Amino acid sequence: MKLKDLGYNNEIEKLNLATGQEDLVVGRVITEHKERYIVQTELGEFEAEITGNLRYTATSRASFPAVGDWVTLMVYDAHSAIIHKILPRFSTLSRKAVGRLGDIQIIAANINYALIVQAVDRDFNLNRLERYITLCHNSQIEPIIVLNKIDLVNEVQLSAMMGHIQNRMPAVQLLSVSAQTQLGLEELKSLIEPGKTYCLLGSSGVGKSSLVNVLSKKQKMESKAISEQSNRGQHTTTHRELLLLDGGGILIDNPGMREVGITDTAQGLEKTFDTLLNFSENCKFKDCTHTVELGCAIIEAVESGTVDKSLYENYLKMEKEKAHFESSIAEKRKKDKDFGKMVKHFKNLKKSKR
C-alpha cells in the first residue's frame, strides 16, 4: 500500500521532514485499543506502543495517538514498532471524556469531511442536524448532509424535507440517498475525493453501516487482515477503523465516533448560526445576549418572521449548553490549580521539617 492511498500529501510530508528524524518510518494509525495501536505504513502494518517519553510528557488524553493520526515509528521487527511522535493534527474530532471533568478525548484525527447521516423517518430532525454541523465546525471538519432511506418517502415528501434543510442550513452541501435501493449513491460516490478522509456521523439506525458497506471495500480489507493474523498464530482485534472507499477516499469509522453524543457539542456555534447572528450587528447593545434585551435585532427578526423561530430556539439552547461546558472547564482548571497549590504546600512542609 502507498502512503498516498492513506491520505499522505505534501503538507504531511513537510510535517514529517520537520521532525528531523529521517531514520523513522511514517504511518497512519488505523486502530487503537487500550494504548496499543495498529499503524499502516508503506512497509506494512505494525503493532505499536508509544515511547515512554511520549507517555510521561503527556499532559492530557489528547497527547496520545488517535485513529487517523500520522505518526513516526521506530521499527523493531516485521510486526512491532514504537511510536515516537504524533505529527501535528489538522483536525480533531473529540468529545468530553467520561468521568473526568472537562477532559477531552480525541476520537479521531485528520478528518476532512463528515457525512452527517440522517434518515427520512422518525430520525429526521433539523435541530439535531444543526448540532452535528456545529460539532463539525468545532472540529475543523467540513460537513456534508446525507439524507438516507429516501426509498421510504415519495417525491413530494422528500422535496419538502430537502427544502427544510436548505432553508435552515443553506451553506452545507446536501445529498439524498438510499443505501438500500442505491438511489443517489452514484452522486455520493462521485463526491468522494481521493486522498481525503471522511467519517460518518448520525444516530443509531440511520444506516451508517449500510452506507459503509456500499461505499467501501471493507469486506476485502477485513478478510485480508484476518489471514495475516492467523499466519502469525495470534488472536488480536482485527477490526479496521480506517477503511478505503471506492474512488480513493479514506473512511474512519470507529465505535467512539458512533457514540459522539450530540450533547457534547459546545462550540462552533457562530459558524452554524451565521445567518441568525448576522442580525446581531444591529443589536442596540454590544454585549446583547439576544434573550431579553430591548433593541435586540435578532429578537426583532424572529418576531417579524424574517428568521425561523425554531432556528432561534435551537441557538439559545445550544448557547446555554456551551456556557455550561465552558464553566465545567473553568471548574476543572481551578481544581487542578488548587491541587497544585496543595502539593506545593505539602512539599514546603516537608522541607521545613528537615
Ligand X SMILES: Nc1nc2c(ncn2[C@@H]2O[C@H](COP(=O)(O)OP(=O)(O)OP(=O)(O)O)[C@@H](O)[C@H]2O)c(=O)[nH]1
Choose, by CB under 6 A, the member of 207, 216, 243, 264 that binds ligand X: 207
Choose, by CB under 6 A, the member of 89, 131, 137, 149 that binds ligand X: 149
- Best CA proximity match to 41, nearest among 282, 311, 242: 242
Contact 99, 65 (CB under 8 A): no
Contact pattern for ligand X over residues 180 through 199, marking x by CB under 6 A? x-------------------
Q: How far is the CB of 143 from ligand X (least distance, A)?
A: 17
C-alpha cell of residue 172: 452545507
Characterize the bridge pairing of strands 44-50 and 92-96: unpaired
Name residues contacting ligand X, limited to 49-78 (CB under 6 A): none
Choose, by CB under 6 A, the member of 92, 105, 112, 148 that binds ligand X: 148
d(CA 233, CA 253): 27
Determine the straight-line distance between the first and last CA of the chain, rounded to whole angstroms.
62
Choose, by CB under 6 A, the member of 11, 35, 151, 274 that binds ligand X: 151
Q: How far is the CB of 205 from ligand X (least distance, A)?
A: 4
Q: How far is the CB of 277 from Zn ion (least distance, A)?
A: 9
C-alpha cell of residue 118: 440522517
Write the single-letter amino acid at 5: D
Name residues contacting ligand X, limited to 255-274 (CB under 6 A): 258
Choose, by CB under 6 A, the member of 1, 18, 78, 152 that binds ligand X: 152
Picked from ligand X, Zn ion, none, the partner binding residue 236 (CB below 5 to 8 A depending on kind) is none
Q: Any known ligand binding at 203?
A: yes
- Best CA proximity match to 119, nearest among 188, 204, 212, 191: 204
Q: Which helix (H) or strand (E) holds 138?
A: helix 126-138
Looking at beta carbons only, is 167 or 209 nearer to ligand X?
Answer: 209
Q: Any known ligand binding at 284?
A: no
d(CA 140, CA 142): 7
Q: Any known ligand binding at 283?
A: yes
Picked from Zn ion, ligand X, none, the partner binding residue 178 (CB below 5 to 8 A depending on kind) is ligand X
Picked from Zn ion, ligand X, none, the partner binding residue 28 (CB below 5 to 8 A depending on kind) is none
d(CA 32, CA 188): 29
Characterize the bridge pairing of strands 92-96 and 80-86: unpaired
Picked from Zn ion, ligand X, none, the partner binding residue 7 (CB below 5 to 8 A depending on kind) is none
Looking at beta carbons only, is 69 or 253 nearer to ligand X?
Answer: 253
Contact 247, 216 (CB under 8 A): no
Q: Tell whether residue 31 is a contact of ligand X (CB under 6 A).
A: no
Q: Interface with Zn ion by CB under 5 A: which residues?
A: 283, 288, 290, 296, 298
- CA angle (223, 225, 226) in 5-degree steps: 65
Write the single-letter amino acid at 57: T
How many Cα atoms are found within 13 Å in the side-chain-facing hemisphere of 109?
22
Picked from ligand X, Zn ion, none, the partner binding residue 94 (CB below 5 to 8 A depending on kind) is none
User: Hey, what's the torsion of the CAs at 116, 117, 121, 124, to 10 degrees?
Assistant: 0
Write the single-letter amino acid at 35: E
Q: How far is the CB of 330 from Zn ion (least distance, A)?
A: 25
Residues forming the annotated binding site for Zn(2+)?
283, 288, 290, 296
Q: Can you give the binding site for ligand X, defined by CB under 6 A?
A: 148-149, 151-152, 178-180, 202, 204-210, 258
Residues forming the annotated binding site for GTP?
148-151, 202-210
Residues forming the annotated binding site?
148-151, 202-210, 283, 288, 290, 296
